[in-house]
Structure 1
Amino acid sequence: MASDEGLTGISRVTVFAMFGVVFGYATHHLDERRIGDVAVVGPLTPGVEWGRLWQMARNCGRPTAGENELAQWVLTQATRASVCGSDLIAHFPEQGWKLEPGGRRVRFDSTYANRDQLWTGNLTVEGLIPEQVAPRPSNYTA
């Protein structure tokens, strides 16, 4: 589902590199329980648009994968970076971020990696310096 709405928040943020692009992964809460039921993922590298994330998922996933499975691939990569520290650039326990309007929102059929939804779009994270979001060398392309 496409989104015409932007979103700002303050939460845990992981900044990681994947296939040469720097991404941010934050959580968002839909109610007062603050359980982080929404994963927010988007590119931070200047000039890279949010559709690149879905292109990566399409290129790396099964050829017949549907939107839900592609969204699971995206969340798996973000979770991997957050939990394992793979290609980790920064991890903030509480940081401001902004998701621009015009991204894509997917509701999982059931909770996946402790999240009910994935919202993707162009993302900015407060406090990052240009060197942290600059493109990275990569042996792989997707």
Structure 2
Amino acid sequence: MFGVVFGYATHHLDNRRLGDIGVVGPLTPGIGWRRLWQMAEAMNTDESPRDKLGRWILVQATRAFVCGSGRIAHFEDQDWQLEQNGYRVRFTDAYCNRYGLWTGDLTVTGMAAEQMAMRPAVYRI
């Protein structure tokens, strides 16, 4: 939709696997995590609070995961790493079955270059 390839993962806060955190970050080389928040700002009203922008990001990631197309790749057992350079948002209640959102520069092991390459965009940000 926006040309950039993003990854979506979850982090569990404890071994009960409750209180999941959504994890979203760009996979396209050369694209930083701030692009994600620029997209959220562009698609929302001016001066939206970070909580609202975080919810927009999470719903886009969830929508892509649930409604996936041939562009969606599922990696069940791949390791991922999120750099600690992005924003973290804690929601006051569950949203898209998540209690928070972490964003940053994301890497997923085993991804081929063509899977991370920029795509044709519907929206230009």
- TM-score under structure 1 length normalisation: 0.83
Whole-Å Cα distance in 1 between the matches of residues 65 and 111 of structure 2?
17
Instruction: Please say if residues 100 and 121 of structure 1, whose CA atoms lie closer than 8 Å, have aligned partners that are also in contact.
Output: yes
Q: Residue 98 of structure 1 aligns with which residue?
A: 81
Q: Residue 57 of structure 1 aligns with which residue?
A: 40
Q: Residue 35 of structure 1 aligns with which residue?
A: 18
Structure 1 residues 24, 107: closer, same or farther in 2, change over 3 A? same
Equivalences, count: 125
Whole-Å Cα distance in 2 between the matches of residues 41 and 57 of structure 1?
13
Q: Residue 53 of structure 2 aligns with which residue?
A: 70
DSSP 3-state at the match of 1:24: strand
How far the C-alpha of 1:36 sits from its partner, in A, is 6.0
Q: Where is the strand percentage greater, Structure 1 or Structure 2?
A: 1
How far the C-alpha of 1:137 sits from its partner, in A, is 1.1
Q: What are the ranges of 5 or more consecutive residues in structure 1 without an aligned counterpart?
A: 1-17
Letter in 2 for 1:48: I
Q: What are the ranges of 5 or more consecutive residues in structure 2 without an aligned counterpart?
A: none
Whole-Å Cα distance in 1 between the matches of residues 49 and 104 of structure 2?
19
Whole-Å Cα distance in 2 between the matches of residues 59 and 53 of structure 1?
10
Structure 1 residues 81, 118: closer, same or farther in 2, change over 3 A? same
DSSP 3-state at the match of 2:51: helix
Q: Residue 114 of structure 2 aligns with which residue?
A: 131
Q: Output one character per residue of 1:37-96: Cα deviation in whole Å (capped at 9) or x when no partner.
A: 100000000000000000000000122321100000000000001101157330122321
| RMSD, aligned α-carbons | 1.4
